Amino acid sequence: MRTAFINTLIELARKDSGIFLLSGDLGFSVFEKFREGFPDRFFNIGVAEANMVGIASGLALSGKIVFIYSIVPFITMRCFEQIRNDLCYQNLNVKIIGVGGGLCYGSAGMTHHSLADIAIMRALPNMTVICPGDPIEAEMATKLGIYRRGPLYIRLGKSHEPEVHSNLKFLDFKIGKGITIKNGSDITIIATGNILYNTKCIADKLINEGLSVRLISMHTIKPLDKDIILKSAQQTKAIFTVEEHSLIGGLGSAVAEVLAETDAKKVLFRRFALPDRYLKDVGSQEYLREKNALSIEQITNSILKEYKSIKE
């Protein structure tokens, strides 16, 4: 996803001389081309995220469109107050690019896991929160992000994510609108971010088991596409959310908030997300997913079990 992001940004920066990129000392083997192409618009701020957000604010107050980049916890939490006061309160044109959503930096340990960032970012007024599910969504989010005034957070995965949308057209992607990847009538699965591909595999398995599955990519968590949730609540028997984020405050919470305030409470609703604790196991993204009941097999089996329970 980060390659899709930077290639898109290079394309945009060629056309718009007001686009700046700031990095918190990250980008080895990723940002060199941007730096060479636009040396006066690339700034390595050093390992100083609070300063980076402030500088981005000053640039934005001077009419620039500024992208800032670091690993998710550093760029959302270390400098949280700068994001709140400088970017969101003043509603500035700064796009926060977090790399390594969820467990992408699995074996690096807890400091590099990002399990609360969606919750934190979506609590801020004026902020838009996008979690692209594949490189194509990352490209679209970057392209459309510059036209959306105000602060925006893009939670990227890392590298080599498989493509989910082979046929997605530019116009099919709208900030604040979920994408129906598969249409079905038994159950709905809503996924966000870097676990989208696995969720597609889950949907395929369930279809093989005879279920009619609706699969939605909810790339934008804020503003949330309420209509697509409510329609699914009316048209299917169960809604499942899948995300690589804490159970608290992420996609599942956002969908639950919508469902809890409607009359469609009869629909079965379950969240697949990470538990409310620091992960102590050491291992890769896939290993940690399995340790926390988020593997393709585990989620597939859980959904089958849940679905059987409502059929009985």
Encoded tokens for 73:
């916890």
CA distance 225 to 32: 37
- Cβ pair 206, 304 in contact under 8 A: yes
Q: At its nearest, how many Å lie between another protein and the CB of residue 37?
A: 15
Q: Which of 36, 49, 81, 161 is catalytic?
A: 49
Q: At its nearest, how many Å lie between another protein and the CB of residue 122?
A: 21
172 phi/psi in degrees, rounded to 5: -75, -15
224 phi/psi in degrees, rounded to 5: -90, 140
Residue 32 vs 81, nearer CB to another protein? 81
Helix then strand then coil, in percent of the chain rounded to 5, is 45, 20, 35
Q: Are strands 128-130 and 220-222 parallel, antiparallel or unpaired?
A: antiparallel
Binding site for another protein (CB under 8 A): 40-41, 43, 45-46, 48, 50-64, 81-82, 85-86, 89-90
Question: Using CB atoms within 10 A of its CB, is residue 30 exposed (0-12), middle (13-18) or buried (19+)?
Answer: middle
Residue 85 vs 107, nearer CB to another protein? 85
Q: At its nearest, how many Å lie between another protein and the CB of residue 44?
A: 10
Residue 85 vs 234, nearer CB to another protein? 85
- In single-letter form, the type of residue at position 2 comes to R
CA angle 140, 144, 150 (to 5 degrees): 140
Residue 39 vs 210, nearer CB to another protein? 39
Q: At its nearest, how many Å lie between another protein and the CB of residue 137?
A: 29
> What three-state secondary structure class fits 69?
strand
Q: At its nearest, how many Å lie between another protein and the CB of residue 284?
A: 33
CA distance 38 to 253: 41
Q: Is 49 a catalytic residue?
A: yes
Residue 90 vs 302, nearer CB to another protein? 90
- What residues are labeled active site? 49
